[in-house]
Structure 1
Amino acid sequence: MILMEDIIREGHPALRQRAEEVTFPLSAEDKQLAADLHEYVVNSQDDEISEKYGLRAGIGLAAPQVNRSKRIFALHIESDEEKGISLIAINPRIVSHSVEKTYLSTGEGCLSVDRDVEGYVPRYARITVKAFDTEGKEYKKRLKGLPAIAFQHELDHLNGVMFYDHIDPRDPYKPIPDATPFER
C-alpha cells in the first residue's frame, strides 16, 4: 500500500524526467504498481482509511510521484453532479482536444507539492484520450470537466511537467483566452 512517505516531493529529480513507455505484457511488478496507484487514490478519498493511514486526499497519482519512471497513472473521481471516473492509464496520450480551455477556479493541487500554489492552470476543456489497461487492451475515452483536467495533470507528470509550470508567474490570475472556469 502506498503511503504519503512513498510519494516524492517537488525538487526530486524524478519529477522532472520523462517517464519510460511500458511494454506489454505487463510484468507482475508493473501490474502491482498500477494497482497500488489506483488503490491510493481510492483509499485517500475514504475518510476512515485516509485518517487511519494519514493519507492526503487525491484524485490522481502517477508512477513518477512514487519515484518510478513508468508511463502509468491512476484516476478516481466520484461525483454526483457529473459522470465519475475510475481508471488506470498505461502509455496514455491525448489524440484530440478542444480549442476551448478551462481551469479550476480554485487552482490545482498535487500530492507531490506540500504548499498552496495560487493561479490558474490552463487546460483543454475537452479531450479524447487513448491508453492501455493492465491487460494490454487499448481504450479510448472522451473527457470533459474535472476528469479532463485531472487526466492532463497526471499526463504532465509522465512528461516531467508540474502543474505550476503552466501558471503565468507575472500574473497568476491572468484571464485565460477562450476559457471557461470549472467550479469544483
Structure 2
Amino acid sequence: MFLMKDIVRDGDPVLRKRAAKVNFPLSDEDQTLAKKMMEYLEVSQDPELCKKYGLRAGVGLAAPQVGVSKQMAAVLVPAAEEDGKPEFKDVIINPVIVSESVQYGALTEGEGCLSVDKDVPGYVPRHDRITLRYQDTDGETHKIRLKNYPAIVCQHEIDHLHGVLFYDHINKKQPFEAPADTIMIS
C-alpha cells in the first residue's frame, strides 16, 4: 500500500511532465500500480485506517503523484446518498475528455491535492459536465458522462497526467472570482 511518504510533492519534475500513454494488456507492474492507487483511496477514506497509517484522505490519485509518468489515475468519489455505493469508482487509463459543458463548476472550499502540502485558497473553475472516455484495467473502453463533483475530481486527476496542478487554474489577481454563472459546489 502507498503511504504519505510515497506521494511525490510539489516541486518534483514528474508532476510537471506530460505522462506517457499506457499499453495493453497491462504489465504486472501496471496492474500492481492500479491496485495500490485504489487501495490508498479506499484506506484513506476510512477514518480509523486513515489515522492508523497517517494518511491524508483523497478522492483521486494519479500515477505521477507516486513517481510514475503514465496516464493512469484512481478515482473514488464517495456516495452522495446513504446507499453506500460510490458516485464514481474506477482506475481511469489513457483518459480523454471528449466533450465538456460551457458552464463551469467550482468547489466552494477550493481544491486540495495530496502532492501539495500548503493550502492554496481560491476557486478552481472547471467544466461542470464532461463526457469522459477511458480504458479500465482490463483494457475495456468506457464512455461516461459526469457532472458536478465527480466531473471536477476527474478533471483534477487528468490535469496531473498533463503536468498541470490545481492552483494553475486559480485567478492570481482575484482568487475568489469565478466566471459568471459558475455553479458553486459544496
Tell me, what secondary structure is at the counterpart of 1:15? helix
Gaps of 5+ in 1: none
Match of 1:150 in 2: 153
Tell me, what secondary structure is at the counterpart of 1:181? strand
Match of 2:16 in 1: 16
Distance across 1 between alignment mates of 2:41 and 2:179: 30
Pairing 1:175–2:186 present: no
* Deviation sequence 1:111-170 (CA, Å, 0-9, x none): 001111000101000000000011100011100111000000000000000000000111
For 1:178, give the aligned amino acid: D
Residue correspondence of structure 1 range 10-159 to structure 2 within 5 A? 10-81=10-81, 84-159=87-162
Distance across 1 between alignment mates of 2:81 and 2:169: 27
Pairing 1:3–2:3 present: yes
Whether the 8 Å contact between 2:37 and 2:74 is mirrored in structure 1 is yes
Tell me, what secondary structure is at the counterpart of 1:50? helix
Give the CA RMSD over aligned residues.
Answer: 1.1
Distance across 2 between alignment mates of 1:141 and 1:118: 31
- Deviation of 1:102 after TM superposition, in Å, equals 0.5
For 1:106, give the aligned amino acid: E
Distance across 1 between alignment mates of 2:159 and 2:31: 21
| Structure 1, 101-110 or 169-178: larger mean CA deviation | 169-178
- Deviation of 1:54 after TM superposition, in Å, equals 0.5
| Structure 1, 145-154 or 45-54: larger mean CA deviation | 45-54
* Deviation sequence 1:29-87 (CA, Å, 0-9, x none): 00110111111111100112111110100000000000001100011111234961111
Q: TM-score, normalised by structure 2?
A: 0.96
Distance across 1 between alignment mates of 2:102 and 2:23: 32
Tell me, what secondary structure is at the counterpart of 2:51? helix
Tell me, what secondary structure is at the counterpart of 1:48? helix
* Deviation sequence 1:79-116 (CA, Å, 0-9, x none): 23496111110000100111110100110000001111
Tell me, what secondary structure is at the counterpart of 1:128? strand
- Deviation of 1:177 after TM superposition, in Å, equals 2.2
Distance across 2 between alignment mates of 1:23 and 1:173: 40
Whether the 8 Å contact between 2:125 and 2:178 is mirrored in structure 1 is no
